[in-house]
């Protein structure tokens, strides 16, 4: 009797596994995004940003009654793509750039967990609790929207996304709160390595794309940090740095304007298209972009 029960249990498990596997769409490309305010999205969303191809999806990472979106569900990626009241982010035009050039049977999904003003330590396993405990109240409110653990929420949502599609890359924009931090690349590596492990990914198949901060040519207050960011491919082999030169800055010289986000997001997208083995169909988008990076 015991053997029969064991056999039945194994059959049930096998059936459940098969059902899960069959539900996963290999033509649904998932991209994880994290960072601080520029990845969260700081610029006001404009009318031209609200028309979105339904092939571009966003997995809501918090409950947003104002948007009629619930945590853990997919929606057409009409901004905001981070939390309920955030702005335009590079992820918006990253996704649009991919959709414009990928085959029509491929869908793109964005999973964005970002916290304005945070140091990279907020996403590290051994430091996020201490960091959150000393964060200003306005940041604590954002952290609490992610259950007090933004990295944990990113992994939670990424695992949900993996039921539907394949994680193809990770996008990062962070650094303004870690100015001239010579250990920043190592801290990013610890987060990247942990994501790869926690989500059972292969590093050679999942590149990390990190954007530069507001560039020196735009008077960026933290432009010096770009020298550190550009060292990332020396630490993470499959990583690429997206140049921000010429991307217009907001008056605070810390954030980008809406146009700046569109330009930077497009550059993220062009780099990812290249890594996926596709060329941009719109020749207007095929403007040479200086990108530094490692390889597979």
Q: Report the C-alpha gap between 37 and 254 in whole angstroms.
A: 9
Active-site residue flag, 255: yes
Buried b (16+ CB within 10 A) or exposed e, 26-57: eebbbbbbbbbbbbbbbbebeeebeebeebbb
> Does residue 76 contact residue 115 with C-beta atoms inside 8 Å?
no
The pairing of strands 56-59 and 166-173 is unpaired
Residue that has been written with the tokens 């033509």 in this structure: 27
Q: Annotated catalytic residue: which of 49, 173, 239, 255?
A: 255
Q: Dihedrals φ, ψ of 12, to 5°?
A: -65, -45
Q: Annotated catalytic residue: which of 22, 252, 282, 283?
A: 252
Active-site residue flag, 252: yes
Active-site residue flag, 105: no
How many helices (H) and strands (E) would you count in the chain?
Answer: 10, 8
Q: Report the C-alpha gap between 215 and 224 in whole angstroms.
A: 9
Q: What are the residue numbers of the active site?
A: 37, 252, 255
């Amino acid at each position: 009797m015991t053997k029969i029960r064991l056999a039945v249990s194994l059959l049930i498990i096998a059936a459940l596994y098969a059902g899960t596997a069959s539900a996963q769409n290999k033509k649904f490309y998932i991209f994880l995004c994290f960072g601080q305010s520029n990845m969260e999205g700081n610029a006001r969303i404009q009318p031209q940003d609200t028309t979105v191809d339904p092939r571009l999806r966003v997995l809501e990472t918090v409950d947003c009654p104002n948007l009629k979106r619930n945590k853990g569900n997919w929606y057409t990626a009409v901004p905001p793509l981070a939390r309920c009241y955030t702005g335009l982010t590079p992820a918006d035009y990253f996704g649009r750039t991919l959709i414009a050039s990928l085959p029509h049977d491929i869908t793109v999904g964005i999973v964005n967990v970002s916290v304005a003003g945070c140091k990279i330590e907020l996403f590290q396993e051994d430091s996020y609790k201490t960091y959150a405990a000393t964060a200003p109240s306005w940041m604590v409110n954002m952290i609490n929207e992610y259950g007090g653990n933004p990295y944990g929420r990113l992994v939670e949502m990424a695992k949900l996304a993996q039921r539907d599609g394949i994680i193809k890359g990770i996008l990062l924009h962070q650094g303004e709160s870690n100015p001239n931090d010579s250990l920043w690349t190592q801290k990013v590596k610890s987060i990247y390595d942990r994501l790869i492990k926690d989500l059972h990914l292969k590093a050679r198949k999942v590149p990390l794309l990190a954007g530069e901060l507001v560039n020196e040519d735009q008077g960026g207050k933290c432009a010096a940090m770009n020298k550190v960011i550009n060292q990332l491919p020396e630490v993470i082999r499959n990583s690429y740095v997206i140049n921000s030169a010429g991307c217009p800055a907001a008056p605070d010289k810390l954030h980008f304007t809406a146009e700046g986000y569109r330009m930077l997001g497009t550059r993220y997208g062009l780099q990812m298209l290249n890594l996926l083995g596709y060329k941009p169909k719109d020749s207007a988008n095929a403007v040479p972009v200086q990108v530094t990076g490692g390889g597979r």
